[in-house]
Amino acid sequence: EVGGRTGLGYRDTSQDVMSVPHTNPGAVRARMLELLHGQVSQGYGLHLFDPDVFKPREEKLPGVKLPTVVPTPNIADIIHGLKDTCSDDALWLVPSICEYVKETGDVAFFDHVVPFADKGEGTVYEHMKKALDFSAEQIGATGICKGLRADWNDCLNLGGGESAMVSFLHHWALVHFIEAATFLKRDADVRTYTAMADTVRATCERELWDGEWYIRGFTRKGIKIGSKENAEGKIFLESNSLAVLSDAASPERGNKAVDAIYRHLFSKEHGIHLVWPSFTKPDDDIGYVTRVYRGIKENGAIFSHPNPWAWVAACKLGRGTTAMEFHDALLPYNHNDDIEVREAEPYSYVQ
């Protein structure tokens, strides 16, 4: 959910529903249908949209007499093109759908027909294929997914540059989809998307490994981001945790990536920083992150949202002690003595 702004944030809401299908399956199903309706026929998601826009007028306001005229937005006005597309948005929904079906047994959901935001309609299963195919088509010179307007990191604005995080996320979504296709006995799709996953994984291993960790991507000019070769922004959390979480990394490289997170990004007192060292010089080929104050938000802060990705990565590697160190450093309860600084309740995570 998106707080004060009108509508749903596509990636955030997709991750919200991933976490609660076992406790509130009805609400999860309804929300996923709204997200699927917010996907265009090309495969990407509308980054921020109000699902009510797609509902009939009488469904939105049953029996309500308004004191004034409420304008109805033109649907065409909210459908943005590639220029404003975030490369990760629709990919998050694929594992969310699969987790919902596994938790509930609602296999028929895959065959539920949902309109696209711009034109046409497709089953939930077909919507997932559209998301996967879109990412497979939007690749740069090295074969890594393009960053487009941004990926999860809203301040990493790569445009025609390439995002390691999105390629790892693409692989993770493919792993979930292949499992579903196998269960449904869609043999042709199993073959097609297994080949796609193999290509994504091989490309990531060939292009993104930097010797001790995975880089964050490439600028549109082909310059590495998140590499030991860089003076600033040498290592990022997102690409190294998702390399493991997505099953793209080998155990050997995955362990090295988590070691690098621990060594370069981890503060035992507070949690895991997003990037190290912070950027001090503007570079618009990398994005707005280079213009944010050091240690603030995406430029080196301890960003709560992606911290659990590293916890999961450590767990997948069998490193329970490391996972608990990461977890306990961010746990709100452990910061109750810092309440004057933290300014939040001991049961809530801050951004």
Helix axes 25-37, 10-18, angle to 10 degrees: 150
According to DSSP, residue 211 is labeled: S
Residue 83 burial (10 A CB sphere; 0-12, 13-18, 19+): exposed
Burial of 105 (0-12, 13-18, 19+ CB in 10 A): exposed
DSSP for 287-346 reads -GGGGSPTTSTTTT---TTTHHHHHHHHHHTT-HHHHHHHHHHH-GGGGGGGHHHH-S-T
Residue tagged active-site, from 50, 133, 154, 259: 154
The size of the chain, in residues, is 351
Other C-beta atoms within 10 Å of 293: how many?
A: 12
Side-chain half-sphere exposure of 170, counting CA atoms within 13 A: 36
Instruction: Let me know: does 226 contact 216? Beta carbons within 8 Å.
Output: yes
Pairing of strands 48-49, 113-115: unpaired
> Is 154 among the residues known to form the active site?
yes
**Which residues are tagged catalytic?**
154
